[in-house]
């Protein structure tokens, strides 16, 4: 018996798009109120969630480095993930913290 399996590639939001500095800056700009260092937690805006849901925070996390930590609170990255639909799975690496 011969079976032919045809698999169609369907783009999904889990496949990260090309991550540019401009894209990252746009994501940070839309989420800045939720990320500010030394301020109380503010839930992310609808725009923030929409931008980071596109690639499940892959681009967002890629830019979370030492320079990021000087301005933004890395601990809030996981709060944003949760508030926007649990975008990071357990074991995810985002900045210097593990989820």
Residue 62 belongs to a domain: yes
Query: pLDDT confidence of 99, banded at 50, 70, 90?
Result: very low
Q: What is the CATH number of the domain that holds 90?
A: 1.10.110
Query: pLDDT confidence of 17, banded at 50, 70, 90?
Result: low
Report the domain count for the chain: 1
Q: How far is CA 82 from each of CA 9, 25, 78, 92, rounded to the nearest angstrom?
A: 28, 21, 6, 13
pLDDT at 33: 96
* Residues 76-95, mean pLDDT to the nearest whole number: 90
pLDDT at 65: 84
Measured CA to CA, the distance from residue 41 to residue 7 in angstroms comes to 44
pLDDT at 12: 39
Domain that holds residue 55: 21-98
Confidence check: pLDDT of 2 > 70: no
Residue 84 belongs to a domain: yes
| Residue with the larger pLDDT of the pair 49 and 12 | 49
Give the rounded percent of residues in the chain with a pLDDT score beyond 90. 44
């Amino acid at each position: 018996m011969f079976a032919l399996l045809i698999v169609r590639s369907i783009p999904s939001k889990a496949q990260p798009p090309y991550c540019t500095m401009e894209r990252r800056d746009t994501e940070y700009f839309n989420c800045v109120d939720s990320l500010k260092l030394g301020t109380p937690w503010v839930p992310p805006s609808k725009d923030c969630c929409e931008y980071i849901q596109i690639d499940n925070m892959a681009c967002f996390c890629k830019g979370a480095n030492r320079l990021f930590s000087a301005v933004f609170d890395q601990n809030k990255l996981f709060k944003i993930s949760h508030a926007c639909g649990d975008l990071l799975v357990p074991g995810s690496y985002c900045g210097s913290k593990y989820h």
